[in-house]
Structure formats: C-alpha cells, structure tokens
A = this chain, B = another copy of it.
Amino acid sequence: MNPLDNIRVVLVGTLYTGNVGSSCRAMANMGIRHLRLAAPNLQNSWEEGERMAVHATDVMNAREEFPSLEEAVADCVAVVGTTAREGLYRQHSKTPRDAAPEILSLAETGPVAVVFGREDKGLLNEEVAQCTHLIRIPVDEGYTSLNLSQAVMVTAYELFTSTGRYEPPHEKAPPAPQAQKAQLMKNWSRMLCDIGFMKEVQADHFMQGFHRVFSRGVFTKDDAALMLGVARQATWAAKGGAAVRDGREDG
C-alpha cells in the first residue's frame, strides 16, 4: 500500500478558504488526497478556495468536516501536530524530515493525522496535548510565521520525498564512450589550429583547458556529437567553405 493514502491533513479552525484551496493543491502535488477540517471558522466564500485549489478541487470537495479536533482524529493511530512556537509540550518536536520515516511507518498501520492550526494562533495548548508527535518546520529566526498552505506544502513534500517514490529525471542519451571523447579532442585540436585559434605547438597546453570544460558533469553521446559537429563545421568554414551546413548532419 501507499502510506500517503493513510495521511489525513487536518486543518483546525481555519479562517480563509484561500488557504484551504492552496493546501489542497499542495497536497495533490505531493500525492496526499484526504483533507479534514476541524471546527472551521471560515470568514469568506468558497469561491476563493476554488480559485486557489486550481486542479485540486476534487481534494477540496471530498473534505470531511468535524466539530472538533478530537472528533477529527478519533480513528487515527497517530496525531502529528505542527507548531511554530517553543513552549510547554512543544520542546520535543522534530523537523518534518526527521519525523517523516516514522510518520510513514505508522501510516502503514492506519490513518495518521497531520494537524495544522489557525492562521493567527496556530494550535492551542489543549490541541497540542492531543498530539502523539510534534513537528516544527525549520525557519529563519527573522520571520518564523509561515503561511498555512506553505506549512502544509513543506510537510507534505517531506512525506512525499521520504516515500522514495519520486524518480529524479535521467539523461536520455547515454554518457559518451571514451573513444568518442578522444575523437572529439583530436578533431577540436585540428580545428582550433585550422581556424587560427592556436598553433600546433600550443595544442597540448590549450587542449588541457578544453578537456576540463568537456569533463564537467555528465557528457553524453549527444553532447559529443554536437561538439564534433562544431569542429567539422569550423574547419570547413576556415578552409573557405561558402554555404552554411548543418554541423550535426553527418556527425
């Protein structure tokens, strides 16, 4: 099973539908679909919420509402509170990154609530007391107050990345084989003489520099083919070629 399916994002006493909508979008971006509102205190219409949810209105429309936090988390095997402040009961909070593996592991066994407080006052002490775990998002001391949906995003992002389900993009072209790289250096050396950039006797010196440039990071077959095309074309032009050819054409 996907443990993210067992995450319940619980917003307590939320004031603005725009923050609900933005939170839904952030949740959907991170593969989390279940929203609960506990004792919502909404001051504006759902129009703003829909505008901010964009393509996550399905998450928003499927929300469950409860009169209190206690009822919203009744079926949960763990209740993870998010808090920005230090203080009584809040000292043993972890960062979302450190807490994510345990949260996901608990979510393998049943629903896990991740609870976010009001825009203005956060979670009350009596709500924090209902939490089995506490997390605090790392912030700069100069401005510690996070927007509600931004707090949802960072937390959801840490849970999502902790699942290991995201595959970073890979180069489609394979790395250039050594023989192709050697050919590249040879052809460039010849070309750089042909165009008058350097003299034969300076080649060893200059080519060290080009070797360095071509060795930064992954250098693919396509990259090498492209640079070989440049060399061919420059040589051709230096020798009096008139028409411009596509350097990659016969690479």
Spell out A's residues near B (CB within 8 Å). 22, 25-26, 28-31, 52, 54-56, 86, 90-95, 97-98, 136-140, 142-147, 149-150, 153-154, 157, 160-161, 166, 168-173, 217-218
Q: Please tell me which one of the listed residues B56, B92, B95, B143 contacts residue A171 in the complex, with CB atoms under 8 A apart.
A: B92
**CB distance A143 to B91 under 8 Å?**
no
CA distance A161 to B137 in the complex (A): 10
Contacts A139-B160, A150-B150 known; 15 new A-B pairs at CB < 8 A: A22-B147, A25-B150, A29-B140, A29-B145, A52-B147, A55-B143, A55-B145, A90-B169, A92-B169, A92-B171, A92-B218, A95-B161, A138-B168, A140-B160, A154-B154
Which of A160, A161, A171, A172 has its CB near the most chain B CB atoms (within 10 A)?
A161
CA distance A28 to B30 in the complex (A): 23
A169 cross-chain contacts in B, Cβ below 8 A? 86, 90-93, 136
**CB distance B30 to A139 under 8 Å?**
yes
**CB distance A140 to B30 under 8 Å?**
yes
**CB distance A160 to B138 under 8 Å?**
yes
Q: Name the distance in Å between A61's Cβ and chain B's nearest Cβ.
A: 15
Which of A92, A94, A98, A171 has its CB near the most chain B CB atoms (within 10 A)?
A92
Q: Name the distance in Å between A4's Cβ and chain B's nearest Cβ.
A: 8
A142 cross-chain contacts in B, Cβ below 8 A? 28, 31
With known contacts A29-B139, A140-B30, A144-B29, A98–B168 Cβ distance under 8 A: yes
**CB distance B140 to A28 under 8 Å?**
yes
A153 cross-chain contacts in B, Cβ below 8 A? 150, 153-154
Chain B residue, CB-CB nearest to A171: B91
